[in-house]
Each structure stands twice: as structure tokens, then as C-alpha cells.
Amino acid sequence: MTDITVFTQSLGAEDLSWDLTPDIDQAYVEGGTIDLATDTALWNAAQLWPDGFLKSGLVLALRSGRYVPYLNSASDSQNVAAGILRASVQVVQLNGQLKTKIGVAVVKAFAVVSQAKLPYTSSNAAAGGFLDANGIADLPHIHFAA
């Protein structure tokens, strides 16, 4: 039997206020993959997607060819910032299941970013994904404004 029950899903609006690039076509954006099945231990759901979406502005590192949240205190390649998530992505499907592989767009260079407007900070994402001084140094081709 088919279930035709009405349901409600809340969606947040995309907030790109952190991206100050005058023309996004000027920024260098590269595609990549987040693999939640392989890198499960590196992702803190409560901090990074409490509403089922990773927010644009998440600072990412590249580990074994896959994007993971940047975390300066890590002891491997997770401690080198590789870019910033360009657009929010859905992590939890409508049926409540976690997506395993997610294609993403990552800002790598030639962008202007408001550090103050990035959505993740050390206080709301202690497990990673926030920008610090070392992350800024890792991304020399992105200009960070206040």
C-alpha cells in the first residue's frame, strides 16, 4: 500500500553573506566529494548539521581525496585547510537516513570572504569546520575581510 501521508519539512534559506566576491564567476571553485560512510568519525552531526544540512561557509580539508571538516588540532591532513564549502548541502534524507557520498563545490581561490560571517566558529563547531589563523595561512589565494 502506498503511503500518501502529508508531512512538513523545514528548510533554511541559503546564507551566502560570508561570500563578498564581487562576481562569483571570478572565484575558483572546484568539485569534490564528502564521504560520510568512510569518514564518519570526523563528522560531528550535532555541531555541523543539526538541521540536516551542512551550511555553506564550512572550512574543509582534503584527506585521502575526500573533503572533511578542517581541524587545525588534527594530526593528519585534516589540519590543512583546502577550501570553503560554496553551497549548503543536504546530509540527512527525507526518510531520516544519512547520505553517504555527497558531491560538493569548494571555493579554492580568487574569492573575498567575510571571516566574521562564516557560520561555524570554535564555539559552535569545536569538532572542526571553522576558520582560524592557520586555516587563513593555508588559503593564501582567498582574501579574508573582517
CA distance 53 to 13: 11
**Which of 56, 122, 126 shows the shortest CA–CA distance to 84?**
56
- The per-residue pLDDT for range 82-141, each reduced to its tens digit, is 999 999 999 998 888 999 999 999 999 999 999 999 999 998 888 899 999 999 999 999
pLDDT for res 25: 78
Torsions phi, psi of 109, nearest 5?
A: -165, 170
> Does 10 have pLDDT greater than 90?
no
Write down the domain spans for the chain.
28-145
- The per-residue pLDDT for range 57-76, each reduced to its tens digit, is 999 999 999 999 999 999 99
pTM higher than the cut 0.75: yes
Topology of domain 28-145 in CATH is: Virus Head Decoration Protein; Chain: A, (2.40.300)
